[in-house]
Structure 1
């Protein structure tokens, strides 16, 4: 009887195994590849990253407010810096779970398939992602990030080490990128043009060199010298801007998507007043006229209470300009204007022998041309006393004009203002940080529960997990 039972169990086991095998075969989609394709991964991961960078949480509801490019006309709590430890999860979760994981997979596939150009592009985009993360939070998981099989709870690297690590990654990207090498597809930034990716990689190296310039000027100069020694080129025109072009719904710009259903945001009074004082022809690009007569450009003061903003009114205040509200408006990752401002600053610091004033003027021209403003308007603008380059205070000249040129790029504008300390912005008395403007994002609350010891180590090294704790790069 015992042997008979075992025989029956054996028959059932074989039948069940056969059934499982048949089910496995049935469940295989013949149209879906077993191995992810780098082109699809590149498209999807790039878009997810840029959407987060340009979207509501990281741009409209935080950094654009901190930079006083935008303000809130309704539900003004964020404009008064009232946040919780769940307010800044989007950049962290997207950056690690989607962006870095996706770019790491592309690097793995490129090595397996022998296409170094996929690897180079993924390294550039992963470097940019890490840069966004460390600029916002400070110390972050870097060396152990994205290696889930090895490090379930990755350690945090110091911000200095993250910057230096990214610089090495970008050098590796330069070595991997070969315009004469294998072709790639799926590139929604540069349409598979490898030469443009090499220029973008160098632009990021220059950006990071200036990030560390107040802390380690020798290293900053070394980075710039290395790019020059390699014969590396930078972005050289607006046609080479690193941008993601959007389309009509459902592939529209995240800003446009938000305004389809909400009406919380207006342009800040700070930048409206600045543009008006300089008779800046970018004003009608950056801002819309009010709906009510007399129509004009009216910004909302940052940090207004709900009642104060309501008293000004939706129809009596300016939305961002139609250019930025268009479904197809591009998300700008790195512009030619920024590159020229960076070169001007590098020259002003003595890192290069270029003409800082001339590069500063070129940067302003490039910003105007980015919005198709040409002719005498730019030359008249540059001659104004409030715009003329001041070599004795290059941080003020470059900082103020760069802040204007970076309009809409909240994370970058906020970081540059923290670094250069210009323009000098004032927090509203209604804010909750005793007159201070946030200088970092606080870590997501989930880090305390899921990666607690490493979180505590980071706070011990960097300082309290507060909006007001200065990061390593922010020296002054």
Structure 2
């Protein structure tokens, strides 16, 4: 009998021990559940500021692809993904860790990154989940409602203002910051400069009394002590690359960039027409003009982004098209990825003057923006002076907005994510060519992307409600989101 009890005891002990081991195995030792906020910050910064996107260059008629039908180039896109919600979850984790270790400075940065990532999402789709989408732990909602785009912008502006007001230059330091090296002053400059980007994005909403766009813009600009802004290229929000594994320029050693991508003809002609020396930094000479001088504008050419693959391939074979400059695929460091910079800020201020939002000289802001962009591209001072003196570069009366947006467009080449496309969508400048036989979507430039397919599987009621209130014709790429409707 005693032997039976011993056996039963051993079986129970084994069973209990097995349960304990099973629970222990649920935590992967290689994936810690706790991480200091500075480590999470680094990952968030890389996700946010690596904004070099060849698809945007194709959609924005700056480059063209010849090895197949690229939907970005030919406007045949359909659905995009909700990947930035993964980045937002990282922001929530950083905030949770900041609370755990009592480092509120990371909570303030969290407000900026919440605004940053949700802006990318709403500019892509229109209405998206926000208020109910970022609750962690037991409160996590897997079927969040979609916030109206107007409400998202209101939250973004309030979060950015709060982030600026909370950050104290005499307060706690920031660790893990690969963008500004822990400088709270530079973070405040970014937050306020980015706020002005958000406000100029709302240019169609001047009459919206909830947003008070002009008043918010003036409040920031007229209080430089409370709301500091970028003062030069040294303040740029940019990710610098290094010749180290996983830290190199994204297109370093990219075979496709060397063999299948070419400069787009309307973009090249724009630079040639303005005698813009940035062309020599962006492109290589066309093969049929290699004997000409590097600074001869006639040595550069492109192919039409709207033309068929056969037409473009024929022109490439004839040596008419310039490739992108070799530094983009041969230099592991190349140029930084600028998420937002001083040049863009100056163009925003120039536009605000033209729109009557602020006082000042639109021409001064405009030329400061051009100079900052050219300095980024390492154009010699004498070249900048000569460029700015040209009649074709002067800010024309009645055509100020087109000139400002054109210069912002040139300066965004293979940088700042989808900014150039969104600015064209907002202003109509520059005109993107759709005349060729390769263009899909009935030769229309899309205005948005359709919602991810899995939203209809996992959150059908809410995504359907969002579509019904925004787009009478249903979820389609030509839908006019709230942002683009004038008030």
TM-score by length of 1: 0.89
The Cα offsets for residues 399-439 of structure 1, whole Å up to 9 and x where unpaired, read as 11111111123401111111121112221332122221122
Mapped contact 2:75–2:444 kept (Cα < 8 A): no
Residues 343-365 of structure 1 show CA distances to partners (whole Å, capped at 9, x for unaligned) of 11122222222221111111111
Which SS does the other structure have where 2:238 is aligned?
strand
CA distance 1:9–1:437, change in 2 (3 Å): farther
Asked if 1:201 corresponds to 2:191, the answer is yes
How far did residue 4 of structure 1 move?
9.8
> C-alpha separation between the residues in 1 aligned to 2:456 and 2:358?
44
Describe the SS at the equivalent of 2:338.
strand
Instruction: Find the partner of 1:350 among 340, 356, 370.
Output: 356
- Contact 1:73-1:300 at 8 Å conserved across structures: no
Question: Structure 2 stretches of 5 or more lacking a match?
Answer: 292-298
Q: Are the equivalent residues in 1 in contact too, given 2:268–2:302 (CA < 8 A)?
A: yes
RMSD over equivalenced CA pairs, Å = 2.7
Partner of residue 143, structure 2: 153
**Does structure 1 residue 45 correspond to structure 2 residue 44?**
yes
**Aligned residue in 1 for 2:294:** none
Deviation sequence 1:251-271 (CA, Å, 0-9, x none): 222233644687332221111
SS of 1:71 mapped into structure 2: strand
| Aligned residue among 103, 109, 116 for 1:121 | 109
1:244 paired residue number = 239
Among 315, 321, 325, the alignment partner of 1:321 is 325
- Identify which of 106, 118, 121 aligns with 1:130: 118
Aligned counterpart in structure 2 of residue 112 of structure 1, from 100, 105, 108: 100
Q: 2:268 aligns with which of 266, 272, 280?
A: 272
Q: Given the alignment of the two structures, is residue 446 of structure 1 paired with residue 446 of structure 2, yes or no? A: no
Deviations 1:88-119 (A, max 9, x none): 22xx22x012x100011111222232222212
Change (3 A) 1:33 1:136: closer
The answer for unaligned runs of 5 or more in structure 1 is none
Say if 1:226 and 1:29 are closer, same or farther in 2 by CA, change over 3 A.
Answer: same
Q: Equivalent of 2:395, from 371, 375, 389?
A: 389
Report if aligned partners of 1:72, 1:265 keep a CA contact under 8 Å in 2: yes
Which of 376, 379, 389 aligns to 1:370? It is: 376
May I ask how many residue pairs the two structures share in their alignment? 463
Worse overlay, 310-319 or 30-39: 30-39
- Please say if residues 302 and 428 of structure 1, whose CA atoms lie closer than 8 Å, have aligned partners that are also in contact: no
Looking at structure 1, the residues matched to 78 and 123 of structure 2 have their Cα atoms a distance apart, in angstroms, of 19
- Alpha carbons of structure 1 residues 162 and 257: separation in structure 2 relative to 1, 3 Å: farther
**Separation of aligned partners in 1, 2:32 and 2:59:** 45
- The reply on whether 1:76 has 2:66 as its aligned counterpart is no
State whether residues 264 and 304 of structure 2, in contact with CA within 8 Å, keep that contact through their aligned partners in structure 1.
yes
Partner SS, residue 47 of structure 2 = helix
Which residue pairs with 2:205 in the alignment? 215
Task: Measure, in 2, the Cα distance between the counterparts of 1:465 and 1:7.
Answer: 68
Over 3 Å counting, the alpha-carbon distance change for 1:318 and 1:29 in structure 2 is same
The aligned residue for residue 307 of structure 1 is: 310
The answer as to whether partners of 1:107 and 1:123 remain within 8 angstroms in 2 is: no
Distance change >3 Å, CA 324–CA 121, structure 1 → 2: farther
Alpha-carbon distance change, 156 to 327 in structure 1, aligned in 2, over 3 angstroms: farther
For 1:160 and 1:171, the matched residues in 2 are separated by 17
